[in-house]
Structure 1
Amino acid sequence: MMPGVGQWAGEAADRWIPREDALSLLGVKPQTLYAYVSRGRIAARSDPLDPRRSLYAAADVARLKGISGFEAIGQVLPFEPAVKGEAVVQSSVSFVADGRLYYRGRDASEWAQTATVEETARLLWGCGATNPFAGLGVRVDSVGGASHRARLFAALSRRAEEDLPSTGRDPDALRREAATVLNEVIDAVAGPGPRLFFHQRLARGWKVLERDSVHLRRALVLAADHDLNPAVLATRAAASGGASPAGAAMAGLVALSSSPVARNLKAATAYVAEARRDPVGAAQRHLTSDGAIPGFGSDSFRHGDPRADAMLALAELPGDLLAILREAEAAGGARAGFAAALAVLARRLDLPRDGALDVLLIGRLPGLMAHALDQITDGSPIRARLRYVGPRPGGEGADAGA
């Protein structure tokens, strides 16, 4: 039974409640509750007893209900006692609830079925009716690089050096600047050409059939953002220091390119290539040698990554790729995660050898710039501190030669 208001006032400060109680007390629909979470007005966390369910901060619900005695609206309570290296970050970009990923309250898997990269950026950047991508042209002085990724980083770093610091600037101007950055990055990777949608320009650059570009579009949209990770933290830390959207996203992309997410995707890509060459027993060999099959299973989505399902549902996979997925899922007992799905799709589209990682990095850029813009415009501090634990001056263990 849901507690009464009086009991709430005494207990809410340190309690987490299930969705049903939050909805009942607030008198709203689930979509409204998810919107509150997306905007940072209600903190949410996974239920430790059932990861498929979410719990909501009772104090935040109480504030919205108008029960007095709590801190100001917008303060995000820590989910657990502080641990070494923990930072608390407020975000209105995306969140995970009940086994689904939401972009500003929109179910990302459903959104990806029809949305373009540009529309996804507008959603994540909070553009409303404004279209910062309107009228963008080709920059004459293109950047060089031996690979798609080298040109991606070259274009981004050039803008990071050129653009003004973000402190005190107009949010709409920053969104337009972010749009030009993304436009230049796409041209750097795909080469200049007709002003098509970003996924179509990339498809032309990678020689993907036009009818298959829809699969590339879906993958790019689904790669845009996913919960807090080192890339997001690096982006927001740079933005809080005044970096431009390009500079902040550059910090995040560097963190992402060498992160466990990227390493897992590389391993999944290698596994798919190996399984295509020698399909018989490939999954069992990996289980025997490594204890797991790369790209399968998910810490964030214990009952299946909805992004993987959305990416593969309409991909029209050939028989050999379907067999790789089925054998690995049967052998390891875990469904294909985002990495495995993207690795398989990259082979389905015949992308370059590292094409899956390129898709991840390019797709994540709108999300990283969304975090940069969110940090710049919201101004909420990143609650983190450095605690020195090294030798004391002149004490035992201090460097005598310093």
Structure 2
Amino acid sequence: MQSAGTASQAGRWIGRGEALARLGVKAQTLYAYVSRGRIAARPDPEDSRRSLYAVADIVRLSGDEPAAEIGQWLPPEESDAPELEIRSSVSMSAGGRLFYRGMDAVQLAETATLEDAARLLWDARSANPFVEVRPRVGSTPGPSARGRLFAALARRAEEDAELKARPAEALRAECARILDEAVDAVAGPGPRLFLHQRLARAWKVRESDAHLVRRALVLSADNGLDACALAARAAAGGGASPAGAALAGLATAAGTGAILDLARASEWVVAVRRQAVDAARRAHEAGGLHGFGDPAWPVGDPRAAGLLAVADLPQDLARALREGEEMTGRAPAFGLALVAIARRLELPREAAADLLLIGRLAGLLAHAVDQITNGSPIRARLRYVGPEPGAN
């Protein structure tokens, strides 16, 4: 139960000097509380170089808050606190377009490699973090490309788990090694080519078509602040290394509807190519046609449009997309575009999902580094809604 004294403190903010005096700690300890999300902080509106600190959090940490008794417990009420805000400089969408650090992602994909996109997303402008990357000796075990991808990330997360402060340049170099090892885990050992070329070589893609793999990877890198990015940022904010944070985000990506939608979109493409259009139409009428439209992109996903514009699809694939769009009245989603590219290049069954996850890894590493170096504390509170204490 919140006391009247505590309630009176809600919404109040104080400067650093008063916060230190109330807590009786040094400035480093105060900053540690903020970085761990135990004390909320915000810029001083009168001087952006200074910060203000939440009185309610300071009261709680200083022990001045009266202890609540079990007999006074009340069910939680709905909070009127503002929606959780996380500051990110990685990407944003505006006007039906996706931007990586202010650069149009579709335009970037016309010429950029995944390494180029990663450097942009990681804000690695002064130095190329891939210059010092060397191949790792030994292969990553696993029966599938996705299994090897996660195994490589888990290994790096364990190796990098030591809690130590690292400058931004060192973090970016670490991310370059992680991304390089992840691609090697999927593609296997070989010549030190660009990342997309290694994958294209492993999948036996013709050199003239390798640009489709490159574009797909770049366009998969980020999609704004979704559940995957939030998971990566939460892990990084809690002290995880870039590999550990990216692993959290990638596990979220693999468990979300995006991967399932890829499989369902693939079923539609297969049905049309097998002339089973009537069955596919019945599936649509039953609400089972996937791959068209995305609530996040009401007028169509620019990544899908950009990728399909240069795909040079054969007639049966083009018909699958055209007939689905006519039936639903919605444009192909990005997942369906990846499926179409995978079919066009005759890649392995799970390659569309692998492209999405590998490309997304670059963006999740960007969110991890951004959170570690520039991110505001991720402050969220668990609202207990279980049985009343002592009820059992």
* 2:250 aligned residue: 253
- List per-residue Cα deviations over 1:258-282 (Å, max 9, x = no partner): 1022221221122222222234335
* 1:129 aligned residue: 126
Aligned: 1:325 with 2:313: no
1:306 pairs, out of 285, 302, 305, with 302
Q: Rate the CA distance shift 1:85–1:200 in 2: closer, same or farther, 3 A.
A: farther
Larger Rg: 2
* 2:149 aligned residue: 152
Aligned: 1:338 with 2:311: no
Give 1:69 shift: 6.5
Q: Distance in 2 between the 1:110 and 1:243 partners?
A: 33
Contact 2:142 2:151 in 1 (8 A): yes
1:142 partner amino acid? S
Compute the TM-score of the two structures, normalised by the length of structure 1. 0.76
Question: Where in structure 1 are there 5+ consecutive unaligned residues?
Answer: 1-62, 76-80
Q: Distance in 1 between the 2:277 and 2:140 partners?
A: 44
2:334 partner amino acid? F
Q: Rate the CA distance shift 1:323–1:390 in 2: closer, same or farther, 3 A.
A: same
Q: Rate the CA distance shift 1:275–1:71 in 2: closer, same or farther, 3 A.
A: farther
2:275 pairs, out of 255, 274, 278, with 278
Q: Rate the CA distance shift 1:109–1:259 in 2: closer, same or farther, 3 A.
A: same
Q: Rate the CA distance shift 1:72–1:282 in 2: closer, same or farther, 3 A.
A: farther
Contact 1:283 1:328 in 2 (8 A): no
Q: Distance in 1 between the 2:326 and 2:140 partners?
A: 46
Instruction: Quote the RMSD (CA, aligned, Å).
Output: 2.3
* 1:219 aligned residue: 216
Q: Rate the CA distance shift 1:390–1:261 in 2: closer, same or farther, 3 A.
A: same
Q: Distance in 1 between the 2:260 and 2:331 partners?
A: 19
Q: Rate the CA distance shift 1:84–1:315 in 2: closer, same or farther, 3 A.
A: farther
* 1:262 aligned residue: 259
Aligned: 1:361 with 2:337: no
Q: Distance in 2 between the 1:134 and 1:382 partners?
A: 33
Aligned: 1:162 with 2:165: no
* 1:207 aligned residue: 204
Give 1:393 shift: 1.0
Contact 2:88 2:375 in 1 (8 A): no
Compute the TM-score of the two structures, normalised by the length of structure 2. 0.78
Alignment of 1:3-402 (within 5 A): 72=48, 87-165=84-162, 167-289=164-286, 291=287, 293-395=289-391, 400=392
Q: Secondary structure at the match of 2:98?
A: strand
Query: Identity percentage over the alignment?
Result: 54
Contact 1:275 1:282 in 2 (8 A): no
- List per-residue Cα deviations over 1:227-251 (Å, max 9, x = no partner): 1211111101110111111110001
Structure with more relative contact order (C-alpha pairs < 8 Å, separation 6 or more): 2
Q: Rate the CA distance shift 1:279–1:132 in 2: closer, same or farther, 3 A.
A: same
Contact 1:157 1:246 in 2 (8 A): yes
Q: Distance in 1 between the 2:356 and 2:339 partners?
A: 10
Query: Which deviates the most, 84-93 or 95-104?
Result: 84-93
Q: Distance in 1 between the 2:343 and 2:123 partners?
A: 34
Give 1:383 shift: 2.8
Q: Secondary structure at the match of 1:281?
A: helix
- List per-residue Cα deviations over 1:148-170 (Å, max 9, x = no partner): 11111111100000114465211
Q: Distance in 1 between the 2:343 and 2:134 partners?
A: 31
1:229 partner amino acid? D
Q: Rate the CA distance shift 1:279–1:345 in 2: closer, same or farther, 3 A.
A: farther
Q: Rate the CA distance shift 1:129–1:71 in 2: closer, same or farther, 3 A.
A: closer
- List per-residue Cα deviations over 1:57-112 (Å, max 9, x = no partner): xxxxxx9xxxx96795999xxxxx97899632110000010110000000001111
Q: Rate the CA distance shift 1:332–1:379 in 2: closer, same or farther, 3 A.
A: closer
- List per-residue Cα deviations over 1:298-341 (Å, max 9, x = no partner): 11111111100110111110000000011000011101110111
2:253 partner amino acid? L
* 1:23 aligned residue: none
Q: Distance in 1 between the 2:210 and 2:80 partners?
A: 44
Q: Distance in 2 between the 1:180 and 1:391 partners?
A: 48
Q: Rate the CA distance shift 1:275–1:236 in 2: closer, same or farther, 3 A.
A: same
Q: Distance in 1 between the 2:151 and 2:83 partners?
A: 32
Q: Secondary structure at the match of 2:361?
A: helix
Q: Distance in 1 between the 2:224 and 2:50 partners?
A: 18
Give 1:284 shift: 1.7
Q: Rate the CA distance shift 1:167–1:74 in 2: closer, same or farther, 3 A.
A: farther
Give 1:293 shift: 2.2
